[in-house]
């Protein structure tokens, strides 16, 4: 009888794995990428803010390092993480839905670059181009709002609202470029790096 009960529990655990996938691993992968991206690019924006305020040189080797260094640093890290976890597909229906939302943002980014970028180029307007990150923040907020609706974790809602607040704050500060960049940098740390860190901690704890 004990053997039958243990077998039933094993079968149930196997079925849960098929339906839900390894959520712990999914959180770790996404959290790691989100944390590192937010940390690196948030830091880059803060350095750009220092340039705009005259605290760092706007040309030369320092400016080149600030402009290219973060991407040169992030791409190898991203490739390593994705390669490491390449054999762990997302199997849960909810997990796949959430992953699909964030994946779709990648295509949306490209479309927005073409639409807003072409208009900014035609108008020779930096302010028009600065609408692009604000729009990305809104899309990130929408993705986290969807995540909250699926998972019902209050902190997901807090992240979504954080992205929306950041979009508004950045949009209102567009006329003052140093403050715009400062808001973006701090926002990436608060709305990307911090949630990524929380996901890593939760994945390590569970």
pLDDT at residue 41, as a whole number: 94
pTM assigned to the model:
0.79
Contact 199, 30 (CB under 8 A): yes
pLDDT at residue 92, as a whole number: 62
Cα torsion angle, 180, 183, 186, 190, sign: negative
Residues of the chain with pLDDT under 50: 1, 8, 10-22
pLDDT at residue 10, as a whole number: 46
pLDDT at residue 37, as a whole number: 93
pLDDT at residue 84, as a whole number: 84
Side-chain-side CA neighbours of 159 within 13 Å: the count stands at 27
pLDDT at residue 198, as a whole number: 92
pLDDT digits (tens, 9 = 90+) for 21-36: 445 667 788 889 999 9
pLDDT at residue 28, as a whole number: 82
pLDDT at residue 93, as a whole number: 66
pLDDT digits (tens, 9 = 90+) for 119-134: 988 998 888 989 999 9
Q: Cβ contacts of residue 53 below 8 Å, gap of 6+?
A: 178
pLDDT at residue 160, as a whole number: 96
Q: Cβ contacts of residue 99 below 8 Å, gap of 6+?
A: 26, 30, 90
Angstrom distance (rounded) from CA 140 to CA 165: 12
pLDDT at residue 155, as a whole number: 94
């Amino acid at each position: 009888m004990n053997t039958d009960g243990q077998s039933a529990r094993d079968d149930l655990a196997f079925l849960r794995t098929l339906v839900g996938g390894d959520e712990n691993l999914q959180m770790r992968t996404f959290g790691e990428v989100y944390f590192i991206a937010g940390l690196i690019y948030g830091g880059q924006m803060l350095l750009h803010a220092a340039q705009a305020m005259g605290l760092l040189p706007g040309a030369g080797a320092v400016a080149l390092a600030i402009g290219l260094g973060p991407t040169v640093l992030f791409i190898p890290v991203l490739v390593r993480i994705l390669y490491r976890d390449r054999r762990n597909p997302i199997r849960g229906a909810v997990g796949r839905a959430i992953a699909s939302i964030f994946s779709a943002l990648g295509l949306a980014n490209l479309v927005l670059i073409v639409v807003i970028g072409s208009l900014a180029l035609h108008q020779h307007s930096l302010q028009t181009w600065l609408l692009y990150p604000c729009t990305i923040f809104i899309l990130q907020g929408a993705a986290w709002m969807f995540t909250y609706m699926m998972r019902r974790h209050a902190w997901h809602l807090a992240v979504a609202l954080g992205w929306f607040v950041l979009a508004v704050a950045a949009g209102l500060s567009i006329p003052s470029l140093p403050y715009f960049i400062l808001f973006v940098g701090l926002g990436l740390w608060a709305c990307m790096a911090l949630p990524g860190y929380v996901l890593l901690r939760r994945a390590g704890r569970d």
